Amino acid sequence: MLALAALLTALIAGCSTGGTATPVAQPERDSGVSVTQDPGAGATDISPTAPVSVTASGGTLQDVALTSESGRAVQGALSPDRRSYTVTEPLGYGATYTWSGTAIGASGDSTPVEGAFTTVDPDSVTSVTTYIADGQEVGIAAPIILKFDAPVADKAAVEKALTVTTTPQTVGSWAWLPDDGGSRVHWRPRDYWTPGTAVHVAGNLYGVDYGDGAYGESDFTLDFTVGRSQIVKADATSHRMQVIRDGATIMDIPVSYGEGNEDRNVTRSGVHVVTEKHEDFLMSNPPYYENVRERWAVRISNNGEFIHANPATTGVQGSANVTNGCINLSLSDAEEYFGTAMYGDPVEVTGTRIDLSAADGDIYDWAIDWSTWQSLSALPGGTDTASAGAAGSSATGTGVTTGTAVPAALPTR
């Protein structure tokens, strides 16, 4: 009777649900060995990255395996004393896994290792894309941008799974910007990157509950480096533009900025970021012009602002602002600047009546003051510092380069 009661108790406890489950002991047999499974037999909605193990008390394990529905044995490791077996790879979504094996008691009698559990079956999985490619060299103002293919409800859960590691140590923070066809989160340093900084980004997103029935599709890693320091100084009142490389002025040229007689043609003041460059580019701004071919075009904002050649304004470059908002250069100057520009370079525009803002496109990160930026983190106080790499410390945090995040090993199915 007591044995029956113990069996019923174990079965009831084993039917727990949720992302994690309380370890449950199999009923003790006459062998004197007790087997405990985590999660317990019959558990459902288990996270595919939750710890999974089986332990023998009063005995050792033999021929233990956890098998998927397809019959594939999940990778795992038996402890040196053979008393516990731990799964060492992530599981699949919406799958049932079954234990097999034997626990041998001190007397030589055996107890079977048996039982099954089921992982959570998401309503949807959400993928992420990075705007910096793995191995890329970027300018000193380049933010780390993660773009999700759907809205993220539980932003704090996702942010906790993101890590930024830099050498040398860099102060920075994540910030969630308004959704744009899906959620997006940016990490930027408090000040411009130090040239030569090595950056490693890791997202342990597989198995993370994003909320509203969505889960992370896969883990990812991203490694990139920060190149030389190049800053464009663009004072619209001077009608000139300077290119400063590692503290030295390498170009000081006449230009023309937005005419500014209407809001639409005011070159925005603030720190822009180079995102694309094209030797030839067709520009349109209906109803004012359409499909006008321009040369040596460097995009600095998604609102349509470029630094580019325009022979039609060469006569007033250096003396008057007449453009539709772009920064016009001569053909030779534009070609020379084009050759120096890199994704992530800052372009500091001053002297106009409208500031760069969220209304102007995708990267307006440097238009946000530091305390406000930190407040856009989903975690209290934001993330203050990236951890240092081997020699330094991680935050728990031709054209635009868009790369799919590099996934970690695929989970067991």
Residue 398: what pLDDT? 28
pLDDT tens-digit series, residues 91-113: 999 999 999 999 999 888 999 99
Closest CA to 370 of 191, 223, 129: 191
CA atoms within 13 A on the CB side of 206: 22
Specify the pLDDT at position 62.
97
Could you give the count of Cα atoms lying within 13 Å of 294 in the half-sphere of its Cβ? 30
Segments of 48-154 assigned E as strands: 53-57, 59-67, 76-78, 84-87, 96-105, 110-112, 115-118, 124-126, 128-130, 137-138, 144-148
Question: 268-285, pLDDT tens digit by residue?
Answer: 999 999 999 999 999 988
What average pLDDT does the segment 363-391 reach? Answer: 83
Q: What is the mean pLDDT of residues 192-206?
A: 98
pLDDT at 287: 86
Tell me the pLDDT of the chain averaged across its residues.
Answer: 89
Instruction: Report the range of poorest mean pLDDT among 22-26, 211-215, 317-321.
Output: 22-26
Q: Are 312 and 198 in contact (CB under 8 A)?
A: no
pTM: 0.86
pLDDT at 361: 79
DSSP annotation of 80 reads: T
Instruction: Give 334 or 9, the one with higher predicted confidence.
Output: 334
Determine the pLDDT at residue 94.
Answer: 98
Asked whether the predicted pLDDT for residue 1 surpasses 70, the reply is no
122 preceded by cis ω (within 30°)? no
Q: What is the pLDDT of residues 314-337, one digit of tens each?
A: 999 999 999 999 999 999 999 999
Whole-angstrom distance, CA of residue 113 vs CA of residue 409: 28
Tell me which residues are annotated as active site. Answer: 308, 326
User: Strand, coil or helix: what is 270?
Assistant: strand
Contacts with 244 (C-beta within 8 Å, 6 or more apart), sequence order: 229, 230, 231, 232, 233, 250
Confidence at residue 30, expressed as pLDDT on a 0 to 100 scale:
54
Yes or no: say if 61 and 68 are a contact pair by the CB < 8 Å rule. Answer: no
Q: pLDDT category, 219, cuts 50, 70, 90?
A: very high
Cis peptide leading into residue 168 (ω within 30°): yes
Cα torsion 163, 165, 169, 175 to 10°: value is: -40
pLDDT band per the 50, 70, 90 thresholds, residue 362: confident
Mean pLDDT of 121-144: 98
Q: How confident is the model at residue 400 (pLDDT cuts 50, 70, 90)?
A: very low
At 218, is the pLDDT very low, low, confident or very high (cuts 50, 70, 90)? very high
pLDDT at residue 391, as a whole number: 39
**pLDDT beyond 50 at 410:** no
pLDDT at 9 over 80: no
In this predicted model, what pLDDT tens digit does every residue of 161-197 receive, in sequence order?
Answer: 999 999 999 999 999 999 999 999 999 999 999 999 9
Higher local confidence (pLDDT), 313 or 408: 313
DSSP E strand boundaries for 168-247: 172-177, 184-189, 198-203, 209-211, 214-216, 220-226, 230-235, 240-245
Phi, psi angles (nearest 5°) of residue 333: -65, -40
Stretch 8-29: mean pLDDT, rounded? 47
- Terminus-to-terminus CA distance in the chain, angstroms? 41
From CA 96, how far away is CA 94, in angstroms rounded? 7
